[in-house]
Every structure is written in C-alpha cells, then in structure tokens.
Amino acid sequence: MDRFTTTIKNGIIDDPKDCKITVVIPVAGMGHRMKSYGPKCLLQANQRETILEKTISNIKKEYPKSDIIVVAGFESNKVINSLPHYVRIVENPNFEETSIVESMRLGINASANKKLLLIYGDLIFNVYSIRGISKNGTCVLVDSKSRFKDDEVGVTIVKDKVTMFAYGLEKKWSQIGYFEGEAFDMLKKLCSSKKRSRLYPFEIFNMMIEAGIRIKAVEPKRMTIKEIDSLKDL
C-alpha cells in the first residue's frame, strides 16, 4: 500500500463534495536542518499554536467549509495525533525518496473537487494572505518585499501573470497557490507521473505555463508571511 487516507476521526462534517474548496498541506518532509526537533510543522508558531495549528485555524476562518487534507510522512503519528477531527490525513510513505510533488499528488488524488488551495506546511502567515484567493482564479502568492530569503524560488511577472519560476529572481513565490478547472486537471496529470516525483513543484508549474496555463501573480496588501527554515526564523 503506497498511501492511506483517513476518514474524519471524530464527529461529522459536510461531505467533501459539498465543500467549496480543498486545501492540501504537505508536511511530509523531514526538514533536515531541524530533524532532531521532529516535524517542523509542529514547532510553536506562538504561545498558543503550532505552525500547523495556526495554518489550519486561518484556513477555517476564511474557508469554514473547506476540505482540509494534510499529507504527513516524517514522524507521521505525531502529526496525525495533533490534528483536529475535521482534517483528513494522507500518508506519504516515500517522503525520503521523493519531493513535495509526491505529497501534492497524494493530496490532489484525495481531493473531491477541482478547486485546490496548496499551502506549504512550514509557513506562518495571517488570514489576509489567503482571503478571497479563489476570486483570482488560478494564481500564486508572490512576495516583492523581501519576506522570503534570497535563495528561494522567484518569479517573473508580465501583466500580472507569472511567466517563469526560477532561482535567482527578485520577486519570490510565497509557496501558496490556488488551482481550478483546467489548471487543476493539468496539475493532477503532471503530478501523477512517478518519473516526476523528484521534481520541485516550481518545475511542474513551469510545465503548466509552457502548456498555456495562465497563473496570476497575487500579493495581498495586508499579507504577512514567512517560511520557517530554522529555529532562528521563529
């Protein structure tokens, strides 16, 4: 068995097909710089919440009927035990040999609709970062204010559309993206190939752009967001 998907652990929520949006949060990676501390997503974002708890809380505030899927891998039992009853869980047993693309594949396959919000599991962000994101159609959040480190993946933008993802660019991809309709279908198709399981997500996005998918660049005015790479970032 290469994966399992849980049902709701306790209680009752709407059928996933009735949810307006599916949110996939990949947290399977080890985070080599902080491996000894356990899953990075379980580090404290503040005095009350872990990074993952804060992410889920923000999602539920903005999309109360969303179907949230967490893709776990490294020390998955710790992640699973931390989750509220309404979150679905997919396990990625191959997290050591694959990239986030494999976790995306598993999460997308478990999605009950074609409206997908992808949020990396090592981000701390506010509700304004994702507020109304689906109104933009297929899009990614970008950063032009040095919220992300220089060595992160950047974007080139022409007339508010992303034309390329690559390293060494000034504007950064903020590791949150929304995909619907044709873009969702292509993302699912590209991630489904095992030969692409070691690629980085931005390489998949470039394939989509080359195939004619239009991805809007969005930078919410009140967005606060940062990636947690080490304890110094907390």
What residues contact residue 23 under an 8 Å CB cut-off, 6+ apart?
59, 63, 66, 67, 68, 69, 116, 117, 118, 119
Q: What is the pLDDT of residue 9?
A: 43
User: How confident is residue 233, by pLDDT bands cut at 50, 70 and 90?
Assistant: confident
Question: Identity (one letter) of the amino acid at 183?
Answer: A
What is the rounded distance in angstroms from the CA atom of residue 77 to the CA atom of residue 164? 37
Spacing of C-alpha 215 from chain mean position? 16
pLDDT at 6: 52
Model pLDDT, residue 19:
65
- pLDDT per residue over 2-34, tens digit each? 445 554 443 344 555 556 899 999 999 876 555
Q: Output the pTM of the full model.
A: 0.91
Helices (H), the chain: 51-62, 76-82, 100-109, 181-191, 201-210
Neighbour count for residue 22 (Cβ, 10 Å):
24
Residue 68 has which token pair? 């949230």
Angle between helices 201-210 and 181-191 (to 10 degrees): 130
Q: 112 with 133: CB under 8 angstroms?
A: no
Residue 38: which pLDDT band, with cuts at 50, 70 and 90?
Answer: confident
**For residue 106, what are the contacts with CB-CB under 8 A and spacing of at least 6?**
3, 71, 90, 92
Whether the per-residue pLDDT at 151 is higher than 50: the answer is yes
CA distance linking residue 92 with residue 27, whole number of Å? 10
- Mean pLDDT, the chain, as a whole number? 90
Distance separating the N- and C-terminal Cα atoms of the chain: 36
Amino acid in the structure at residue 68: I
Write the single-letter amino acid at 33. Answer: R
For residue 59, pLDDT beyond 60 = yes
